[in-house]
Chain A
Amino acid sequence: MHIPLEHYLIVSGILFSLGLLGVIMRRNLLVIYMCLELMLNAANLALVAMSRFNDNLNGQIMVFFIITVAAAEVSVGLALIVALYRKRQTAHVEDLTTMKN
């Protein structure tokens, strides 16, 4: 018995929606960042599943690159969060209001 593609896609859809929910709902920048990673992983899961069912490797190669990009991005993103924390002593979205008219 094998698992149909739609199962994987639905798991990936749920992960994506959960990530989106967290991004909009949470206040802490680090949690928001984690939720962004969830969304990216959802896309990766869809790609790998499609790659298996399409019977070619393009999807997997794409995921390999995305993982690398995510690693590069996390270093910059966390550096930004830490730098901001040093200046403002906060890691909350709602405190990011220096620029208002």
Chain B
Amino acid sequence: MSGISYSEILKLVAPEMLVSLAALAVLAIDLLVMREAPQRYRFWTGAAFAGLGCGLAIAWLLAMNPPPHSMSAGLSLLQGTYADDVLVRLVKVALLVMTLFTLAISMESNFTDHIGEYLALILLATVGMMFLVSSENLLMVFISLELTSLSLYILTAFNKRNVESAEAALKYFLFGGMSAAFTLFGLSLVYGLAGSIQFSEIYSKLHAAKIDTLLLAAIVMTVIGFGFKIAAVPFHLWAPDAYQGAPTPSAAFIASGSKVASFFIFAKLMMQAFAGAEGNGAWRHFTPGWLPVVATVAACSMLLGNLAAIVQGNVKRLLAYSAIAHAGYALLGLLSNSQQGMSSLIYYIVTYGLTVLGAFGVVAIVEERTGDASISSFAGLGRRQPLLGLCMMVFMLSLAGIPPLAGFFGKFYLFTAAIGAGKDMGMLWLVIFAIAMSAVSLYYYLQVLKQIYVVPAVEDSRPIVVPVSSRIILSLLALVVVVLGCAPELLLGRLITAIKLASHQ
């Protein structure tokens, strides 16, 4: 048990440390110094410090080389509670970028007086996500999932002037508790079978043995639990209410950052720890394992998400149901169970996160100016605020998967990865289904655009005033979506090399 060096561990987790320190600093500065200042200055100062922390963490992640796996004594001692490789770092950078955008979106809002606490919780949730993506140990997965979820429940409840906020948080909380119980029961069975909580050891134990029926039950329960986190069908019910009731920046963060982190760890758990218990999800070749379970979840999510989104009258609810559908598409990357699948999954979910952040950014402004987020309040936006309308168009079309945008390439790579997986295109049935469902989804995205560009504003057609900072941020996000669509290699190329490097270690 000797030979552990805390300073080495501290150096390892420096990015997480920086972000947690930033959280505490924001809290302290807001409570001690800025208490008397006007709301807006408090938000700006807090966000500046929070952004500084995230920026430093990004710089650290990009500048320092990850230690080679075999050389680091600290890493092996930590039993997989902290994995560090190029891929993990890339995902962490993506998470931090999303946090930065979330901070930027929330800067102009005025739903709470507790600004320091709000920003600190965003940062703590980010730390949870960062720990989550670098864990290869069931215990650490659980703890960091809980850290993230708990912070997000609180962020959902932050608008105390609105009953919906508390109600949404409570629903989110109860479903979250249920999913935690399911995940935990599943993981406890895995631990019982494998005798270890480290991914690599679980793999080596389960790989050799014949698939136990108990393992199947464990897998189903774990998938159910994670299905909640990624808002896939059996536990999706929280998503529409949480998205609608939560303050818009919180909803944006739930839809982007937490999605990316949970998808990544879900994929890692399935592909690393449960490799050897895949089964087969190909049409008419079903054999038990996690693939058919995930395939069912994916199909149900796509069907239900898209169909329910059509009838929504509130844009936040619409985005929630579309999130359920997108979780279904993204699961295709997991189903292809290959390096190509992993890279397409990460590309898809990161671009999706950025797009949905932008969409929520627009919704936040419109909601604040017109009082609600129903589709009809977007009427005439194209004329009242052309830039905002244009940004929303980019985001909606990217979500729908229209060619030059990131959403299209994301779907394209996912579908090719899924078709290429396994023997004789076993996943083809699901890909065809996904393409059909994408066509359906075009309808409701166009409904929003129709309001923006075709329907004239009813009573109030004055231009909407938008602060310069928000304009810059939203245009930046739209630009990212366009650029990643036109030049997907920028991200995808890095992902592919990172995955290759990580798998060699």
Task: Show the binding face of A for B, using Cβ within 8 Å.
Answer: 5, 9, 16, 19, 23, 29, 32-33, 36, 39-40, 42-44, 46-47, 49-51, 53-54, 56, 58-59, 61-62, 65-66, 69, 72-73, 76-77, 80-81, 83-84, 87-88, 96, 98-99, 101
Contacts and interface: CB of A to CB of B under 8 A. Distances in A.
Interface string B165-207: 0111111011001101110110111011001110000000000
B185 A99 contact: no
- Chain B, interface size: which category? 35 or more
B184 A66 contact: yes
B150 interface: yes
A53 B171 CA distance: 37
Contact of B191 (A54, A87, A99): A54
B170 A29 contact: yes
B269 to A, nearest CB: 15
A68 B174 CA distance: 18
The 3 closest A-B pairs by CB, nearest first: A50-B192, A39-B181, A43-B184
B170 A84 contact: yes
Given A40-B180, A47-B191, A50-B191, A101 B166 contact: no
A36 B180 CA distance: 9
B399 interface: no
B171 to A, nearest CB: 7
A47 B153 contact: no
B153 A80 contact: yes
Main secondary structure of the interface of B (DSSP, over half): helix
Interface in B262-305: none
A19 B184 CA distance: 14
B167 A39 contact: no
A33 B180 contact: no
B293 to A, nearest CB: 19
A96 B167 contact: yes
Given A81-B170, A96-B171, A61 B153 contact: no
Given A72-B150, A99-B245, A101-B311, A46 B189 contact: yes
Contacts of B138: 62
B195 A80 contact: no
A19 B195 CA distance: 26
Given A5-B192, A66-B142, 15 more contacts: A39-B185, A44-B188, A46-B189, A46-B192, A50-B192, A53-B192, A58-B197, A59-B191, A76-B150, A83-B157, A83-B166, A87-B163, A88-B167, A98-B163, A98-B167
B77 to A, nearest CB: 15
A51 B142 CA distance: 17
A51 to B, nearest CB: 8
B81 to A, nearest CB: 11
Contacts of A58: 139, 191, 196-197
Contact of A101 (B178, B192, B313): B313
Contacts of B191: 47, 50-51, 54, 58-59, 62
B250 interface: no
Contact of A47 (B181, B188, B244, B245): B188
B451 interface: no
Contacts of A9: 192
Nearest to A74: B177
Interface in B434-455: none
Contacts of B187: 43
A96 B170 contact: yes
B184 A40 contact: yes
Nearest to B245: A99
Contacts of B168: 99
B188 A59 contact: yes
Most buried by B among A46, A51, A80: A80
A20 B277 CA distance: 27
Most buried by A among B143, B178, B317: B178
Contact of A32 (B139, B150, B154, B174): B174
B167 A62 contact: no
10 contacts: A36-B177, A50-B188, A62-B142, A62-B191, A69-B142, A73-B146, A83-B160, A98-B163, A99-B240, A101-B312
B177 to A, nearest CB: 4
Contact of A84 (B167, B312, B314): B167
Contacts of A32: 174
Contacts of A72: 146, 150
A65 B195 CA distance: 18
Given A19-B181, A46-B185, A69-B143, A80 B241 contact: no
A33 B154 CA distance: 17
B127 to A, nearest CB: 15
Contacts of A76: 150, 153-154, 173
